[in-house]
Amino acid sequence: MASPSWHAHISCGGGTVGAGFLFTDRHVLTCAHVVWQEEQVEIRFPGLPGHEPVLARVVARGCWAGDSRDPGDWAVLELPGPVPVRPVRFARLDAPYAYPAPKLLAHGFPQDYEEGLISELRASTDRLTANEWTQLEDWKGYGASVSGGFSGSAVSLADGGEVVGMVCAMEPVRMVSAHVLARSWPPLAEHVPTPGHDPGEKRALAALVARVPEGAAEPDRLFRQAVGPLGLAPPDGGFASVWEAVWHLLAESAPRAGAFPLAEFTVRLATAVDEGPSPDPELGRELRAWAQAYRSRRDAPAGPSGRAPDLGWSPVLVDINRSGEGRNALLVEVYAYRDGSRRLVDATTVTGEKQLRDWVLDRVDDAFGDLDDRGRALVAFALPRNWLNKPVDQWVRRKGIEPPLGCVSPVVVMDRLRRRNPRLQWTLRQMWEILDGRHTSPVHRIECGAAPRPDKLSVQLQDVYGPVGFARPPDPGRAATGPHGAALDAPSPIVLWPHTGCAGASCDGGCRGSGFLDALAERLTRLAPGELPGHVLKLRKEAFVHDEDAPHWAAGLTLVWEDPRRFPPVTPPDRSPLS
C-alpha cells in the first residue's frame, strides 16, 4: 500500500526537523515544540514526488510553555495555497482503544531518513495522563522506534489509515489524541467524527462559541442544567472553558429522541450571553436559532400527505419558580414538547410581573417554532401553589390592541408542588388511563363555605374521576393547606374555579359562585375530559367579547388540567464508549 501523501516533513531554523499532517487542503497540524518560537517554517510532502517545498505560517498554538510536561503541545500551520493532497480522515474517538488492540502507525523523520521511517505502536490504555496524553507502546518490541523527528507525526490505524492522534513525546511514547486536540482547538472539531453530529453544524457552533465573551457564562453550571441529575457526568475538575463543555457533549453523547442536551446547553448559553456583563442579543439569537435548527433536523419525518393523524395536544410549558436570588426574583423556563421530548426554548431570571409577562409572551411565541403542527397547541403554566389563581390566561402585551393569551390558545395551569411528587404523578397517569375512555365530565361541586376539612376533602376526592368545581377562588394565604390544596393533593386531575368570588367565610348558596358551578355543569358535562382545554378556550373568547353590563360567568375562569403523559420527563442522554 502506498504511503499517504498527507505526511508532512517540517524544517525549522537551526536545523530542527519534525513531522506533521495535512488535515485540510491548506492546514497542517504539528507539535508546538517543533515550531517553537518560529513564525514561518518549510514544509514538503514526501509522498508527493516532485512537489516543491513551501513556506507555511504558524497561525495557532497551544499553551505549551517549553517543558516536556506542559499541556497544549500543538500548533497549526497554514500553507500559502491548497496542495493537491487528500487530507487525513480522523477515526472514531474510541477506535485506538478497541479490543483486541489495533495496530497503529506513526511516520516520522529521524536524522538521515528524509523519506521517513514507520513505527508500529498500540495504545497501552484508554486512560489519559494528566487529562492530556495517551501512552503508546511498541507493537512487537523491535523494529523502528519512535525517536527524534517523530514529533508531530500522525498516529493512524494500520487497517484503514484513519488518524487517531499525534505523537508528542518519546520515552515513553505519548500521543495527543484527536479527542484532546479538538477539545483544545475548536476548528478541528468539524473534522473529528462525533456520534450523530454533522461537520457543518459543529463548524457553525464552534464559530458561535468563539464569539462568547470571556466570563459571560459558567460552563459547569450550564452543563449540569442541560444534562440533568441523571445525565452525562462532567470530567473531574470541570470545564476550563465553554468550548470544553460543548466538546464534551459532542464527543460523549449522541442526540436521540427525547435527549438533546447540546441544544439545551446552547439555549442556556444564549441566555447567559444576553444577561452577561457585555450583553450581545444578536449572538443570543444566533445561538437559539442554531439550537432550533439542530433539533429540527432530528425531528421525526412528517406523515404522508392528506389528513394528519390526531396527535392530541402539542404543549408549551411555562415553568415559573422563585429563584432564591432575591425576594422578587423568579426563575422562568419555557419548553416546547415534540415527539415525546422536552425542548428548552429559553430560560431567564426576572423581577417584577410586567417583565415576567412580556418575556413569557415573547418566548411562548418562539416555542411554536418547535411544535408539531399536526397537534393542537396547549399552553401550560407550572406555578407555585400560591400563584395558581394568577390570571395568566389574561396576560397581554398591549391591552386594547392584542387579545389576551387565553383567547389565542388553550391555557391551563399546573401545580409545581404536585409535579415534583412521584406518587401523585403516578396516580394522575393511572386516572387519565380511565378518563381517556369517558365521554362525559360531570362536575363535582364544592359550594361556597361547604367544603369539609381539607384532609377529609382530599380523601373524598380520591374517587372523583373528573372535574372538581369550586364556587370561589383559593385564599392566597391558605393555598397549600385550604380546600383547593386538598383537591390538588387528592390528586384531582381537573379543577376549576373563578378568579373572584365571595370573600366571606360562609354563603347562603345563592351567590355568583353557585351560578358559576351551574354554568360549568351545563357547558362541560357532555364533553370528554381530554377536550376541556379546547372548550375553555371557547368560553374565554365568549367572555372576552361579552358586552353586556353583567359580567360573563366565565370571565376569570381558572382551569387546572394536568395529564402527566403530555409532559414526559427528560430522558438522560446515551453515553459513548469514551464516557
- pLDDT score, position 575: 47
Residue 98, judged by CB atoms within 10 A of its CB (0-12, 13-18, 19+), counts as middle
Q: Are 532 and 559 in contact (CB under 8 A)?
A: yes
**Grid cell digits, residue 25:** 487542503
CA distance 381 to 78: 54
- The pLDDT value given to residue 505: 56
Residues 6+ apart with CB under 8 A from 216: 272, 273, 276, 277, 278
Q: Give the phi and the psi of residue 499 in degrees, each rounded to 5.
A: -65, -30
Please return the burial class of 153, using the count of CB atoms within 10 Å of its CB with bins 0-12, 13-18 and 19+: buried
Q: What's the confidence (pLDDT) of residue 50?
A: 79
CA distance 443 to 465: 10
**Pairing, β 104-108 against β 376-383:** unpaired
Long-range Cβ contacts of 448-453 (<8 Å, 24+ apart): 448/472, 448/501, 448/502, 448/506, 448/507, 448/509, 448/511, 448/513, 448/514, 449/502, 449/504, 449/505, 449/506, 449/507, 450/509, 451/483, 451/486
Task: Give me the tens of pLDDT residue by residue for the chain, a chain 579 residues long.
Answer: 456 889 999 998 777 789 999 999 999 999 999 998 889 999 999 888 878 899 999 999 999 988 878 899 999 999 999 998 899 999 999 999 998 999 999 998 887 777 778 898 999 888 888 889 999 998 876 656 777 788 999 999 999 899 999 999 888 889 999 999 999 999 999 999 998 899 999 999 999 999 999 888 999 999 998 888 767 888 888 999 999 999 999 998 887 766 788 999 999 999 999 888 888 899 999 999 999 999 888 876 544 433 334 458 899 999 999 876 667 789 999 999 887 778 899 999 888 888 899 999 999 999 998 888 778 899 999 999 989 999 999 999 888 789 999 999 999 999 999 999 999 999 999 999 999 999 999 999 998 877 788 999 999 999 999 999 999 898 877 777 889 999 999 999 999 999 887 755 556 656 788 889 999 999 999 999 999 999 999 999 999 998 887 788 899 999 999 999 988 876 555 544 443
pTM for this structure? 0.80
* pLDDT 10s digits, 516-547: 999 999 999 999 999 999 999 999 999 999 88
Which of 472, 465, 483, 468 lies closest to 521, judged by CA? 468
The helix (H) or strand (E) run that includes residue 105 is strand 104-108
Return the pLDDT at 196: 87
In this prediction, residue 307 carries a pLDDT of 37
Q: Which helix (H) or strand (E) holds 107?
A: strand 104-108
| Residue-level pLDDT at 308 | 37
Residue 170, C-alpha cell as written in the block: 518519546
Q: Would you state the pLDDT for residue 301?
A: 55
Question: Measured between alpha carbons, how far is residue 266 from residues 260, 317, 490, 518 in Å?
Answer: 10, 19, 39, 50
User: Counting every residue, how long is the chain?
Assistant: 579
Closest of 245, 240, 202, 244 to residue 222, by C-alpha: 245
Terminal Cα-to-Cα distance of the chain (whole angstroms) = 35
> CA 229, CA 493: separation in Å to the nearest integer?
28
pLDDT at 570: 62
| CA neighbor of 177 nearest in space, from 92, 259, 245 | 92
88's CB contacts (< 8 A; 6+ apart) are 4, 6, 21, 22, 23, 154, 156, 162, 163
Q: For 185, which DSSP code?
A: -
Q: Using one digit for the tens of pLDDT, what is the confidence trace for 155-203?
A: 999 998 999 999 998 888 899 999 999 999 999 999 999 988 999 999 9
Percent of the chain predicted with pLDDT > 90? 59
What are the φ and ψ backbone dihedral angles of 435, each rounded to 5 degrees? -65, -30
- How many other C-beta atoms can be found within 10 angstroms of the C-beta atom of residue 128? 15
Alpha-carbon span 328 to 351, nearest angstrom: 5
Type of residue at 341: S
